[in-house]
A and B are shown apart, each in its own frame.
Chain A
């Protein structure tokens, strides 16, 4: 999709967004070449929506250099018309129905596919003639998801698109997203905190915490980048000595340590000798551990001292 002469889809250089005394986005430098499905992961309030708002010029940056399709997006219709961002809390004109919102989207998105929108509306069982303000939270999310998919914008953002959607509707969204993406390749940025659910869709992961990008890597690379070693305490400690530790917990006589390191065949053989068990770490686990181990994240708790497993649960 991108020949070398084309600029990357997104280029951010030291971008900051300040609200009064907090920095929602803090010195982000990022390059997204595009043509893939990106996951923008992070806790609530980590800066996901703010970052997407900056990229779509809905809420301009305080400082730094923002380039989308090689240009600054603010008040730039040429750039804006190539992207689509439906906010999680999107507002619609008073008394609009979903059908009218789609009619409107057809005016602005040149690749808009009305048939596709109609099919999706049917699958989500969305009442097209009902006023949007009378829709349930799930139906409201469906309106945004349908606009995002049927717009087929070159750069599409989905901001926590699943709120209020039941498990079946979420699966429909994931399936249609992947299908349509393979037929019409484009750049998709999906913000989510339901990481396990979207893990298989993502080709690239961006993890944001406290307004900073703390992980930016291919999903493929990430999958093998960490492991959990479980076994007798002293042996685990020996084995993991000198390796970057993301998390340690004790369950009775067993110790379980999550390390951020690639284990080779030799390491695995040595672990087997010591009677240690090595398990892969899911993307969600890795995200949780990395977020909590991040310097400013988790209120500065050193992961090695946080041994009570209940402390490590993601807030319900």
Chain B
């Protein structure tokens, strides 16, 4: 376990990757959004912005980066794949939780200041407003984790099977999606599917995301177990 903590500390030696760049993206996306709101003539309607997603997408890239660059180095540091996996995803989970808490707090400030004085909505999850605070935080956390694990898993597949692996995975995903759509159309399932999506609550969406994360997590670990640096 000590070595997993060392892996996390190794990932933090370059402060920019896990801390500096996310902080910069959060600050810059807020500043730019605020500037745009100032420029757009004021009206009474709420102004929505998706800029808070910016950092979430960075986590996808971070998942890829932490594997492609740091994994081969961790092998030279005589770290097992399991320890590397625990240390790296563990660190990421902590960072994602911190960002989720920050977003929750910012969301509350947003509401209290009447949308930063400009009637804007950047951090507050309107559709999840009725859910308990814990669910709102968990939702943000799980979405970030899902994107990170997606990047991590794709990078692992690339690491093990290179371009061929990527090609096969994308083709399989496309075939599966097209197949499912064809099946849904043929069986006339679309109305039920629409109803199912409409019936989802923030908590159930979190649950599905958690399941998705778990599958990706296990998949990444199993793929990484036989990866070579």
Contact = CB atoms under 8 A, between A and B. Distances in A.
Interface of A: 53, 56-60, 75-77, 80-87, 90-96, 100-101, 103-105, 107-109, 147, 153
Contacts of B65: 94
Interface in B125-142: none
Nearest to B65: A94
A-B pairs, top 6 by smallest CB distance, nearest first, are: A91-B72, A80-B78, A107-B6, A108-B77, A94-B69, A59-B228
A251 B83 CA distance: 61
Given A91-B229, A107-B77, 4 more contacts: A59-B229, A87-B229, A91-B69, A108-B3
Interface of B: 3, 6, 9-10, 13-14, 16-17, 65, 69-70, 72-73, 75-83, 225-226, 228-229
A77 B3 contact: yes
Contacts of B75: 56, 58
Contacts of B73: 90-93, 96, 101, 104
Contacts of B70: 93
Contacts of A107: 6, 9-10, 77
B81 A75 contact: yes
B interface majority secondary structure? helix
B100 to A, nearest CB: 26
A56 B78 contact: yes
22 contacts: A58-B75, A77-B3, A77-B79, A77-B83, A80-B78, A80-B79, A81-B78, A87-B229, A91-B69, A91-B229, A92-B73, A93-B10, A93-B17, A94-B14, A94-B69, A95-B17, A96-B14, A96-B73, A104-B77, A108-B78, A108-B79, A109-B77
B71 to A, nearest CB: 9
Contacts, number: 84
A90 B69 CA distance: 10
A84 B78 contact: yes
Given A53-B228, A60-B226, A90-B72, A100 B14 contact: yes
A279 B77 CA distance: 45
A interface majority secondary structure? loop
Contacts of A59: 228-229
Given A53-B228, A59-B228, A77-B83, A94 B17 contact: yes
Contacts of A85: 76, 78
A130 to B, nearest CB: 14
A2 B3 CA distance: 27
Given A94-B65, A108-B6, A58 B83 contact: no
Contacts of A94: 14, 17, 65, 69
Given A60-B226, A100-B13, A104-B10, A153 B78 contact: yes
Contacts of A75: 80-82, 225
Given A87-B229, A90-B72, A95 B80 contact: no
Contacts of A95: 14, 16-17
A95 B11 CA distance: 12
B10 A83 contact: no
A105 B3 CA distance: 12
A147 B79 CA distance: 15
Nearest to A97: B14
Given A60-B226, A93-B69, A105 B77 contact: yes
A105 B78 CA distance: 10
Contacts of B80: 57, 75-77, 80
A81 B76 contact: no
A94 B13 CA distance: 11
A60 B3 CA distance: 21
A102 to B, nearest CB: 10
Contacts of A147: 76
A262 to B, nearest CB: 41
A101 B72 CA distance: 13
Contacts of B226: 60
A94 B21 CA distance: 14
Contact of B3 (A81, A82, A104): A81
